[in-house]
Amino acid sequence: MRNRLQSLRIAVLATDGVEESEFGEPVAAFKEEGAEVSLVSPKPGSIAAWKNGNWSRSISVDIRLEKADASDFDALILPGGVINPDRLRMIPAAVEFVKAFQEEGKCIAAICHGPWLLAEADLVRGRTVTSWPSLKTDLRNAGANWVDQAVVEDGNIITSRKPDDIPMFNARVTEALERSLAGKT
């Protein structure tokens, strides 16, 4: 453990259908850096991940969405998969949870289809973002400047395209969180 993110708390908002790699790899990386990472979900107990077009492993939920408070966390991760963010954007409490991070100026990082939640929360208007290519029109219609880049950081929002970009996504989120830690000292 390198402890670069020691004392930071990160919420990962997800439900059934979360892309396994986009959940598991960032969680492992941020834990390795010393952060406390919690799965926040509207579903109690556990959620089912998605991998290669099939349901895969079960992931234990740490905090029910209804009990989660953005002020208890330093950052929010929105993993993709098509199913996960499509379900979450239809849940008003999930959209409000995302908005709360924005209101507090905290880091919000979304990968693949995760930016659907940013659009639903009206957080992409006037920002440069990236995503899985099929969201390009949705994000542009929501007022974003969509670009095809591995990782884009615009203010407190970090977006990334796909599983292949996870190492760059993790690095950029870690850098942003290190900057926020430096600002606290």
Residues carrying an active site annotation: 112-113
Q: What are the residues whose beta carbons fall under 8 Å from the beta carbon of 40, sequence distance 6 or more? A: 11, 12, 13, 14, 61, 62, 63, 64, 65, 68, 97
Q: Which residues of 44-74 are buried (b: 16+ CB within 10 A; e: fewer)?
A: eeebbbbeeeeeeeebebebebeebebeebb
DSSP state, 70? G
d(CA 129, CA 139): 8
- 174 and 4 Cβ atoms separated by less than 8 Å: yes
Q: What are the residues whose beta carbons fall under 8 Å from the beta carbon of 56, sequence distance 6 or more? A: 20, 48, 49, 50
DSSP state, 56? E
What residues pair up with 165 in beta bridges, in sequence order?
Answer: none
